[in-house]
Structure formats: structure tokens, C-alpha cells
A and B are shown apart, each in its own frame.
Chain A
Amino acid sequence: MSGTGARRWLPYLLLLPGGLWLFVFFVVPMLTLASTSLQEGSLQSGYVLTWRIANYTEAVTAFREQFLRSFGYAGIATLLALVIGYPLAYVIAFRAGRWRNVLLLLVIAPFFTSFLIRTLAWKIILSDTGWVVGALKTVGVLPDNGRLLATSAAVVAGITYNFLPFMILPLYASLERIDPRYVEAAQDLYANAFTAFWRVTWPLSLPGVVAGTLLTFIPAAGDFVNVRFLGTPSQSMIGTVIDSRFLVVLDYPTAAALSFLLMLAILVLVVAYVRRAGTEELV
């Protein structure tokens, strides 16, 4: 019976490396973080676990504005990424022919350079002396003393750019799976091109829309890099605060509490969104 015994244990054995990894590098740090978020004290006297729930309420009161701004920026960036990404993914999936792979490669090409470099590049592109600002001033969109850098627009644009591939790829994957015969069937059943898209292609691509918006929104809400390079403290997002609480102010309990609050907020938003999108079987 050793054969069946080994067979019974095999799945657990296969789970072991991943499980261990997650335990050591996810579960343990999460517990540490949870404990930190309930501590009290100062860097000099050391932090002690006192189950101080007030860390959370104080964090919410103090950084309410940053929370709201984070979700606002992330929401706008996600929407922009959807508006930019959907037509692109559609063309790659249905019209690109032999150019499909080239276009897909171009979509992921930014990943060949680091996130930081790309954001720094945007800093140069949007700089006060850069050609974008110059051109916008020439056509009169920007006033003479106007600037792009250090504005909300720059931060949202940076976030949109950085997470666009996370929107396009799931959209492409789900559009590409749609059998063109569904569209033909819709046209055969008196739907013009727009109706065929709205009644057939769009609903069938919803799993991709949900996946893409989640993959964009979640990291965007916690982002702090774009604000640092493209914004100012007055655009600071919750990620910025957590970053500085941990690494600059060294106020670990507040930073930990903020981290948990961010996670919770994202979780609540995602659950509400997925329910509303009616695609619970897909996520």
C-alpha cells in the first residue's frame, strides 16, 4: 500500500516549497506587521505591543486626504488606461494579422527598462523646459507660466502609463478568445457594427475588463514612485505616507496601521466592484 500512500501525500509534497516560501516571506511578515500596528512607544525607548487600536483611528483621521487622493488618482488612471487600452487590445486581437506579435512585444517593451527609469524619463518629458510643455504653451492649452510637472495631471499620467500594460494584456487575452463567429452571428441577426460590439463583443470581453482594471487599480492605489518623481507633497498618496513613515519618520506603528488600512480598503473596493460587475465566477 506504499504506492497509494505516496500518491496521497504527493499533492502536499508539491505544495510544500510554495507553502514554505509564503509562510516565511508572507505570513510571518504579515503577523509582524499586524503586531507592529498595535504597538506604542518611540524609536528611542523602543516599541511595545499594547494592542493600541487608536493607531488605526488616528491614522485614518490624519491621512484621510491621502487615502481619498490615492483612490481618486488610481480610479482616474484605471479609467484612462481602459479607454486607451481597450481599442489597442481590440486592434491587436482582431485586426493586427501578422503584426500581432510585434504589437504585443511593443506593449510589454517598457518592462525591459526599470520602473524607476521609466518614471524618471517622464520627469524629463514633462519638465518645464521640455518640448511637451513648450508645445502646449504654443497652442495655448497651458498658460505662459503653466507647468505639467508637480501637478495631479502629471501623477495620474505617470500612473496610467506605468500600469497600461497590465490593462492591455488581460484585455487582449479575453478579446482574442472571442470567436469571430459570435460577431458574425450578431450581424446576421440585424445588429450593425456598433450594436454587435455593444451586445456581443463588450460583454464577452468583461472578464478581461475586470482583470485589467483590478491589475491596474490595485498597484496604482498603493503607488508612491510616480508622486515622488512627478508630483509634490501636495499630491502625496497613501503609499507616499507609508513610505515616509517607515523610512523617514521611523513611526513604525502608524506605518503598519496605514498598510493594513490600505489593504482593507482595496479589498472592500475590489469585492464591491467584482460583485457589481457580476463576474464572481471569473475572479
Chain B
Amino acid sequence: MNVAGDGIRVIDEPSPGDRLHLVDLTKRFGDVVAVDHLDLVVEPGSFVAFLGPSGCGKTTTLRMIGGLEQPTSGRVWLGDTDITDLKPYRRPVNTVFQNYALFPHLDIDANVAFGLRRTGVKGAELRRRVDEMLELVQLPGYGRRRVPELSGGQQQRVALARALVNHPKMLLLDEPLGALDLKLRRQMQIELKRIQTDVRITFVHVTHDQEEAMTMADTIAVMNSGRIEQLGGPVELYERPATEFVANFLGQSNLLKGTVTGTDGDRRTVSVGDRRIVVPADRVPAGGDGVLVGVRPEKITIEHAGGPDRGDGGAVAGGNVLEGTLVDVSFTGVSTQYLVALPWNAEVMVFAQNLQVDERLQPGAPVRLLWAPEHTFALCPGTAAAPRDDAAAPDPPVAVTPGRIADVVRDG
């Protein structure tokens, strides 16, 4: 056992035998398909987030891992054990429930000790482990309090302690921060990440909050309609969304319709309206020529068109340039948002930091938009999944197995 920074013992070294493997998992409720042939491997010790809108199947997937829901078909493996048919109380997995589900008739000690008592831990050992865990979640001395006496954030910590004290192989978190206010939520995000780093248990976290997922998880599975749209690290998902859904669910994207017209070394040219935009080749999906070209609003530099022209209608000096008319300016404090209308009935959103504000940037002004090709991505329009033509391996620690999501993410 290791000792973590603040003296709390690391519970277990992650062992490769504790890999979670979801195989072709499907759950139907009547005619509704909640989870649709889902495949996923979660490596031990990682922090994975299932991110998606409500009804995307993320909670159902979590409940199937915990055993609270039986899959219609497919298997759940934990290491070498098929746990699909195991009752929840036989699985070495614990859950932090939405709204915590702390037992109202028991005090904090008894809540935390509940799982330990069931497994036969008692006496001094029980006392020691409960105290240790309350310390880990920074609630020492709260043992005799009753649940309603605690604030939402404190109850959240107790729920975490009640699950972690059992040394599960995996911790499942079902929207654990949903009931907290924004400031507390931010604080708990950091706190959860710290605890996960300390205890090194696999955390599987369900959330609809993209910021929460990006802050905490090392791997995010973006889910939509019961399937994983894209799997990857936060930066990868943000910089290189594979589908329209991901591009719009994680932050904001400007997506412009275009056609792939040519190749120039490791770059592709896409014509958008009467302009050409350069996109790195590995960010252009294989297949059809009709694509959506995307760029994040904060990657674009906006300037008044009255200045020196840097473009010649395409890609000079390696940059992408578009011209349009400023439609709307709104000041949000940290940044200013500009809405620009392009000549061919399309709009582009720009977020600019308030460093040097050009007074001429008022609605109606002609403007020029510039951004680097590396900040550009392209995806197939309207499809749930688009294979990419790059062959880079997926980021560890989450691996994609052969199966349905392999073609969702990439074909490599």
C-alpha cells in the first residue's frame, strides 16, 4: 500500500485484472432502445466519463455495470469474470447515486459502515476504516450527525465515502454533482479528481455537463441515442470532433458546408462558398467530398476589413480567411462574441478576448476572419459516425475493441 500526499493510504494498486469490458451491450425498454450494441473497454485506474444529453443511455449503461439493470443482450466483464448475471450485491463495484440516496434512518457512521458490515467487517477494523474514509472526504468527526443535518456538498462526500470505503474495483458515479450549485460543483470536481488520484480506483462517471466531464475525466465517451459517438481524451474530443453531434455538444463549433476539391501535400483544400479553406489531411474524413468544415469560435481572429488585406481569396501564408459582415456584438466580460454573416447565407461565431478592441467593430462593419489550418477540422455532414483516415492509436488508458464503436471512432 502506498501513502498518498496527505497521508491517506492508497486503497489498491490498479491491477490489469480489473479491466471493465462491455461487449455488445443492449438495453431495450419496450420499444425504446436505451443502449444500442455498445462496446467499451475501460482500463483499471482510469477516470472515464459518459457524456451526453438526457435519454442518451448513459445512466442505463452505468446501471447495467452496477447490476441495477439487466441488459437485454450483451455481456459485462470485469477482468476475467463475466458479471452480467451477478446480483448487484455480488459485484465488487459501488455506486454514488444521483441525489446520493443516503439512508435517512442511519447516522453518517452507519451509512459509511453499511457495506462493510454486510461483508463482515466489524469492531476496531470497521471503526478504523470508517474514520479513515471520513477523513479522506474531509468530514472527520461528522460520524454521529444525521443525514439531514448535512449540506448538499457534505452529503455528496458522505455518499462518496460510503462507496469508497468498500475498496471497490470500480466506482460508478451517476450525475454526482448535479444537485450542487455551480461554485460547489467546481470545487467538488477538483476534489473528486484528487480522490481518484489518491485511491486509483477506476471511476466511471455519468454526466450531461461537458465542462464537468472535461475537467475530471481522462477519457470521455460522448453518447447519443444509446451509442458512443466518439471516445477520447478531452483535448482530442474538443480539437477533433468526429461528428456533428460531438462538435456541437462539446463547446460550440462553426460548421460550414463545403466540398473537398484538392490535396496539397498533407493538406486538403475545401471550397466553402466562393472561398477555399485548408484543412490538415488527417482531419478530413475519408469518403464523400461533401463535408462540414469546422472551427471553434475562440480560434478565429476577427479584424476590420479596412486594414491591409492578407488574403487572396484562399490560403496565403498558410492561414484560412473568410470575409463577411458583422451582425451582432455582445460583451460577456471575459470575451466579446461576434456574429458574422458570410456572403452565402452562413454565419460564423467568434469569441475574442478583450485585449485590443477595435472601435470599428460595430454591427454592419465589413470584417475579415482568420485562423490557422491546424485549428480546422472536417466531418461528414449529418452522420452519426464518420470514419477518419488517420491511423493513430486511441489514447490509453481506454482502448476501443473491435466492434461497433471501432467504426464510430476510427478505423485504425
Tell whether A64 is near chain B: CB-to-CB under 8 Å.
no
Say which residue of A187, A203, A206 sits within 8 Å of B89 (CB atoms). A187
Interface string of B62-74 (1 = CB under 8 A from A): 0000111000000
Q: Which of A70-78, A192-200, A208-216 has 4 or more CB atoms under 8 Å from chain B?
A: A192-200
Tell me the total A-B contact number using a CB cutoff of 8 A. Answer: 62
Measured in the bound complex, the distance between the Cα atoms of B166 and A196 in whole Å is: 17
- Tell me which of B97, B101, B102, B119 has the highest count of chain A C-beta atoms within 10 A of its own C-beta: B101
The answer on a CB contact under 8 Å between A185 and B101 is yes
Tell whether A204 is near chain B: CB-to-CB under 8 Å.
yes
- For window 200-220 of B, CB contacts with A under 8 Å fall at none
Say which residue of B68, B87, B162 sits within 8 Å of A189 (CB atoms). B162
Q: Which residues of A contact B102 (CB under 8 A)?
A: 185
Say which residue of A184, A186, A203, A204 sits within 8 Å of B114 (CB atoms). A186
- Tell me which of A179, A185, A189, A190 has the highest count of chain B C-beta atoms within 10 A of its own C-beta: A189
The answer on a CB contact under 8 Å between B114 and A189 is yes
User: Contacts A184-B68, A199-B114, A204-B104: A191 and B97 contacting too (C-beta < 8 A)?
Assistant: no
The answer on a CB contact under 8 Å between A188 and B68 is yes
Q: Which residues of A contact B95 (CB under 8 A)?
A: 184-185, 188
Tell whether B94 is near chain A: CB-to-CB under 8 Å.
yes
CB of B206, distance to nearest CB on chain A (Å): 15
Say which residue of B66, B103, B105, B115 sits within 8 Å of A190 (CB atoms). B115
Q: Which residues of B contact A196 (CB under 8 A)?
A: 89
The answer on a CB contact under 8 Å between B118 and A181 is no
The answer on a CB contact under 8 Å between A189 and B94 is yes
- For window 151-189 of A, CB contacts with B under 8 Å fall at 179, 181-182, 184-189
The answer on a CB contact under 8 Å between A191 and B118 is yes
Measured in the bound complex, the distance between the Cα atoms of B196 and A152 in whole Å is: 65
For B112, the closest partner residue in chain A by CB is: A189
The answer on a CB contact under 8 Å between A188 and B105 is no
Q: Which residues of A contact B162 (CB under 8 A)?
A: 189
- For window 227-269 of A, CB contacts with B under 8 Å fall at none
CB of A192, distance to nearest CB on chain B (Å): 5
Q: Which residues of B contact A187 (CB under 8 A)?
A: 67-68, 87-89
User: Contacts A190-B89, A200-B103, A204-B104: A195 and B118 contacting too (C-beta < 8 A)?
Assistant: yes
The answer on a CB contact under 8 Å between B105 and A192 is no
The answer on a CB contact under 8 Å between A190 and B118 is yes
The answer on a CB contact under 8 Å between B101 and A203 is no
Q: Which residues of A contact B197 (CB under 8 A)?
A: none
User: Contacts A182-B101, A200-B103: A188 and B118 contacting too (C-beta < 8 A)?
Assistant: no
The answer on a CB contact under 8 Å between B105 and A185 is no
- For window 93-110 of B, CB contacts with A under 8 Å fall at 93-95, 97, 99, 101-105
Q: Which residues of B contact A185 (CB under 8 A)?
A: 95, 97, 101-103
Measured in the bound complex, the distance between the Cα atoms of B277 and A180 in whole Å is: 55
The answer on a CB contact under 8 Å between A182 and B103 is yes
CB of B169, distance to nearest CB on chain A (Å): 13
The answer on a CB contact under 8 Å between B88 and A184 is yes
For B88, the closest partner residue in chain A by CB is: A187
Q: Which residues of A contact B118 (CB under 8 A)?
A: 189-191, 195
- Tell me which of A190, A191, A206 has the highest count of chain B C-beta atoms within 10 A of its own C-beta: A190
Q: Which residues of A contact B94 (CB under 8 A)?
A: 188-189
The answer on a CB contact under 8 Å between A189 and B166 is yes
The answer on a CB contact under 8 Å between B87 and A181 is no
CB of A251, distance to nearest CB on chain B (Å): 50
Q: Which residues of A contact B166 (CB under 8 A)?
A: 189-190
Q: Which residues of B contact A191 (CB under 8 A)?
A: 89, 114, 118
For A181, the closest partner residue in chain B by CB is: B101
Measured in the bound complex, the distance between the Cα atoms of B162 and A191 in whole Å is: 14
Say which residue of A181, A189, A203 sits within 8 Å of B105 (CB atoms). A203
For A185, the closest partner residue in chain B by CB is: B101
CB of A238, distance to nearest CB on chain B (Å): 37
User: Contacts A187-B88, A188-B68, A189-B162: A179 and B101 contacting too (C-beta < 8 A)?
Assistant: yes
User: Contacts A184-B88, A185-B95: A190 and B119 contacting too (C-beta < 8 A)?
Assistant: yes
- Tell me which of B67, B93, B97, B166 has the highest count of chain A C-beta atoms within 10 A of its own C-beta: B97
The answer on a CB contact under 8 Å between B97 and A192 is no
The answer on a CB contact under 8 Å between B115 and A189 is yes
- For window 50-70 of B, CB contacts with A under 8 Å fall at 66-68
Measured in the bound complex, the distance between the Cα atoms of B114 and A196 in whole Å is: 10
For B63, the closest partner residue in chain A by CB is: A184
Q: Which residues of B contact A203 (CB under 8 A)?
A: 105
Measured in the bound complex, the distance between the Cα atoms of B95 and A209 in whole Å is: 30
Measured in the bound complex, the distance between the Cα atoms of B115 and A188 in whole Å is: 8
Measured in the bound complex, the distance between the Cα atoms of B117 and A195 in whole Å is: 11
Measured in the bound complex, the distance between the Cα atoms of B67 and A192 in whole Å is: 13
Measured in the bound complex, the distance between the Cα atoms of B118 and A206 in whole Å is: 22
Measured in the bound complex, the distance between the Cα atoms of B322 and A125 in whole Å is: 93
23 pairs from A and B in contact (CB 8 Å cutoff): A179-B101, A181-B99, A182-B103, A184-B68, A184-B95, A184-B97, A185-B95, A185-B101, A185-B103, A187-B67, A187-B87, A188-B66, A188-B67, A188-B68, A188-B93, A189-B89, A189-B115, A189-B166, A190-B89, A191-B118, A195-B118, A196-B89, A200-B105
* Beyond A179-B101, A190-B118, A206-B105, 16 additional pairs, beta carbon < 8 A: A181-B99, A181-B101, A182-B101, A182-B103, A185-B97, A185-B102, A187-B68, A188-B89, A188-B94, A189-B89, A189-B115, A190-B166, A191-B89, A191-B118, A195-B118, A196-B89
Q: Name A residues whose Cβ lies closer than 8 Å to a Cβ of B.
A: 179, 181-182, 184-192, 195-196, 199-200, 203-204, 206
Top 7 A-B pairs ranked by shortest CB distance? Answer: A189-B115, A190-B118, A181-B101, A185-B101, A187-B88, A203-B105, A190-B89
